[in-house]
Amino acid sequence: MMLSQQHIDTVRSTIPLLASAGPAITEYFYKRMFQHNPELKHVFNMTHQKTGGQPAALFNAIAAYATHIDNLEVLTGAVMRIAHKHTSFNIQPDQYAIVGHHLIETLRELAPEAFTPDVEEAWVAAYGQLADIFIKIEDDLYKERAAEAGGWMDFRRFRVASKTPESELVTSFVLEPIDGGAVIDYIPGQYLGVKLHPKGNEYDEIRQYSLSTAPNGKSYRISVKREGANEMAGVMSNYLHDHVNVGDEVEAMPPAGDFFFQDKQTPVVLISGGVGLTPMQAMLDTLAQQQYAQPVSYLHACTNANQHSFKDHVNSQKDALNLSVFTWYEQGNTSEENVFSGNMQLDEIQNSLPLNNGEFYLCGPVGFMMFVKQQLLTLGVEADRIHYELFGPHKDV
């Protein structure tokens, strides 16, 4: 069904209704969908359902779509980010039909007076347009990755070739394909969708982990932080740490993600908090391999020295790069050079940063990235030179 001006006007007229209901709409939607189609629990991250992160993200996406329905170019960045994430779950077209059905039924059941036949027709057409956009983009991404050297379709089986502790909470896993073939390259900063079925779990678990070293065509490395061991978080990370060992198997989709290093031959600043340093390792290793001629700054903040992953490895890259390293520990004092106590304060090193022409890459907890981004803006860095990656459902930083 084509989207008419009347459809657009009708969808826009429901924005106040969506705003008044808020994330309650999407919470109801997910509850309804999982009740009728429990097989989708194999795909969706149920931790994000429990924490409310996924319903909130979906509500924001729906509200944004309704607002910009006649100018979707505004949403191009968000659409590409979501499409990349979908391909790491191996989302297929028939799943869009299921989601669409439950979305329409949710609107009908929550607002029966407002959900007239005209409103239903408009939302069916609007959802159909959005689904077609995603299906087309994702189909292109699947085909592109399958066509490249080492590429593949659907989930592929990998064996854990090595398991290495990097700090108190982070462990690296090197994954090699069981079929012995090559693996597709990736752009530093991208992630791998990994699927496991933890013993005792009713459903599969799929998570996205940043690739934490430069591509080599033969294997992938992910570095996983052990999250809190409770029902709200850490199901996959604790299982990987405690039960997945060398020789065990996992499944993975080809690398994905719209956060990656953009080589502009300008100074580069990599800024991470906690396990947000994983994509920065891939960027730093790649820059070192290329013997990148421009200055590189590596800024990292973590709880304490025991939780500082890749410290020695990062410092070793000074041999190949014009590299400056700065570190902040939330706990504990230190007399080491360029190591500070407390939260990351950029004014302490602003004279060492390429504020006028550098490209800044951020990754870490949302609060950390908001805190750092605001500092960068205050110091005069334009927003379009600040790039960021968020672990979990998307939020604006």
For residue 338, give both structure tokens.
């360029």
Answer yes or no: are the C-beta atoms of 272 and 299 closer than 8 Å.
Answer: yes
269 is in an annotated binding site: no
307 is in an annotated binding site: no
Beta strands 156-165 and 249-252 are antiparallel
210 is in an annotated binding site: yes
Secondary structure class of 264 (helix, strand, coil): coil
390 is in an annotated binding site: yes
The reply to whether 292 belongs to the active site is no
Find all residues with CB under 8 Å of 180, minimum gap 6, and list them: none
42 is in an annotated binding site: no
Distance between CA atoms of 159 and 381, rounded to whole angstroms? 43
Considering only CA atoms, which of 288, 256, 248, 127 is closest in space to residue 186? 256
310 is in an annotated binding site: no
38 is in an annotated binding site: no
Q: Point out the catalytic residue in the list 96, 142, 298, 361.
A: 96
Secondary structure class of 301 (helix, strand, coil): strand
361 is in an annotated binding site: no
The backbone region for 297, taken as left when phi is positive above 0, alpha when psi lies in -120 to 50, beta otherwise, is: beta
127 is in an annotated binding site: no
235 is in an annotated binding site: no
Distance between CA atoms of 304 and 334, rounded to whole angstroms? 10
150 is in an annotated binding site: no
Distance between CA atoms of 92 and 370, rounded to whole angstroms? 34
CA angle 287, 240, 138 (to 5 degrees): 60
Distance between CA atoms of 280 and 222, rounded to whole angstroms? 12
Residues in the chain: 397
Exposed e or buried b per residue across 188-211, where buried means at least 16 C-beta atoms within 10 angstroms of its C-beta: bbbbbbbbbebeeeeeebbbbbbb
Distance between CA atoms of 257 and 279, rounded to whole angstroms? 11
279 is in an annotated binding site: yes
User: Which burial class, exposed, middle or buried, applies to 378 when counting CB atoms under 10 A from its CB (0-12, 13-18, 19+)?
Assistant: exposed
392 is in an annotated binding site: yes
* Cβ count within 10 A of residue 116: 12
The reply to whether 96 belongs to the active site is yes
278 is in an annotated binding site: yes
Distance between CA atoms of 319 and 310, rounded to whole angstroms? 16
CA dihedral 10, 16, 20, 23 (to 10 degrees): 60
Q: Point out the catalytic residue in the list 138, 205, 359, 389.
A: 138
Considering only CA atoms, which of 259, 208, 224 is closest in space to residue 397? 259
**What residue numbers does the annotated binding site for NADP(+) cover?**
274-279
Which residue numbers are catalytic? 96, 138
**What residue numbers does the annotated binding site for FAD cover?**
191, 207-210, 390-393
**What residue numbers does the annotated binding site for heme b cover?**
86
**What residue numbers does the annotated binding site cover?**
86, 191, 207-210, 274-279, 390-393
